[in-house]
A = this chain, B = another copy of it.
Amino acid sequence: MSENSSAFSLQPPVSSVASSGIIVQKYGGTSVANPERIKHVARRLLETQQEGNSVVGVVSAMSGVTDGLIQLSKQISTTPTSREMDVLLATGEQTSMALTAMAIEALGGKAVSLTGAQAGIVTNELHTKAKIHHITPQQIEKHLKQGKVVIVAGFQGETEEGEITTLGRGGSDLTAIALASALGADACQILTDVDGVYTCDPRIVPKAQKIEVISYDEMLEMAGSGSKVMQSRSVEFAKKYSVSFEVCNSFNTQPGTIVKEESPCMEQVVVRGISVERNQAKVTITNVPDRPGCAARIFGAIAEAQLNIDVIVQDVSANGTTNISFTLYRDDLEKIGTMLDCVAQEIGAGAVRKEGGIGKLSVVGIGMRTHSGVAAKLFEALARGGVNIQMISTSEIKIAVIVDEADVVLAAQLAHTAFGLDRS
């Protein structure tokens, strides 16, 4: 997935640390959840301005508001058109942006709020998951020059024809990163309710520590492996346009995690972080005839059913047949139903075994490219702890193993220690 954004002007790469210049700060739904928190956000935006910066705040809808609107729409229609959903959902950010601007003004600051359309965010016509086509930030620049803090509604834009669109999940992050690029901002901060990206989920590994700097690719692998600080889409966009950004906590002023292009020194750390996904399931189709087209038939049927599958493993063939296994979300297991039994029969394969209670552990780091023995170290650590590995999948900068769900916490702690990530 990548944004279609040929019309972006070429700006110098955005750095994440700035002395004075344009700063884009994005505040998520929990950060603007109620009037008190909105006032807090206003203070923070104003302080950033008072440090000598031009400040653009991107705000999400107050937490719960978007879900409330979706509930309301469901009472009206089971299949609302995506155009009207966008008109409806766009009110959530419009509400929080006005309240945030009011809060800044109440503190004696100058502020102005802009909808996606007013901010010049032009998208394609794919309602509910529109892609940013280009940004014409003249209005924002005009207000910044007048010394105002500019509050922009996240998650939304408008088409060339003036139709309201929304950008889909993680859309507010995307708004912030795209604005940082279009404005040639000196810094972009994604303020959320966590301190940054951690070496592992601290609820799973209490010794997990905050990562200071992480590359786009590592962030993408972490995001794709259960560390849902941000949607992959926004990170991909940032990578494409070389926008460094910082993920930090809106409730404190600690430095967060800087996400940026990789540099040679970043490779010195072999493993950046470990991510864990629970609630997985495994499906195995036994005795699949070892001839062309069988795998295509199986995964074609799964794709048709719009199920997202993750790790796929095919055993070494024996006696002209092989076993094919894959993992997916446990919630999706039911949707498979008897579909695969039919396919298995059709291609002359054996039984279809379904199994919940599966977990995935991913070890991520660009340092793997230049350091060998990472897999061996991981397997050794898990073996020493008695954790059985069911499946293995690797990419250039990631090793993922599928284990019993009951083992996943222990496995994460073992790996975390083995790769020297534990907080001292």
Contacts and interface: CB of A to CB of B under 8 A. Distances in A.
Interface of A: 35, 38-39, 69, 72-73, 75-81, 83-85, 87-88, 90-91, 94-95, 97-99, 101-103, 105-106, 111-113, 115, 118, 139, 162, 164
Secondary structure at chain A's binding surface: helix, strand, loop or mixed?
A: helix
Contacts of A79: 106
A76 B39 contact: yes
Contact of A87 (B73, B80, B113): B113
B118 A102 contact: no
Contacts of A73: 98-99, 102
Contacts of A81: 101-102, 105
Contacts of A111: 84
B84 A113 contact: yes
A105 B97 CA distance: 30
25 contacts: A69-B95, A72-B99, A73-B98, A73-B99, A73-B102, A76-B102, A76-B103, A77-B102, A77-B103, A79-B106, A80-B105, A81-B101, A83-B112, A84-B99, A84-B102, A87-B94, A87-B101, A87-B113, A87-B115, A88-B98, A88-B99, A90-B94, A91-B98, A115-B164, A118-B162
A84 B97 CA distance: 9
Given A39-B76, A162-B118, A98 B103 contact: no
A268 to B, nearest CB: 48
A31 to B, nearest CB: 15
A17 to B, nearest CB: 31
Given A113-B87, A118-B162, A80 B102 contact: yes
Contacts of A39: 76
A105 B80 CA distance: 8
Interface centre among A77, A87, A112 (most CB of B within 10 A): A87
Contacts of A87: 94, 97-98, 101, 113, 115
Contacts of A80: 102, 105-106
Contacts of A69: 95
B91 A78 contact: no
Nearest to A39: B76
Contacts of A94: 87-88, 90-91, 94
Nearest to A90: B94
A73 B83 CA distance: 29
Nearest to A162: B118
8 tightest A-B CB contacts, nearest first: A77-B106, A35-B75, A88-B98, A91-B91, A87-B98, A80-B102, A77-B102, A84-B98
Contacts of A90: 94
A75 to B, nearest CB: 4
A118 B83 CA distance: 14
A136 to B, nearest CB: 12
A41 B237 CA distance: 43
Contacts of A95: 69, 72, 88, 91
A88 B101 CA distance: 10
Nearest to A80: B102
Given A73-B98, A77-B105, A88-B94, 8 more contacts: A39-B76, A72-B95, A73-B99, A77-B103, A81-B101, A84-B99, A84-B101, A88-B102
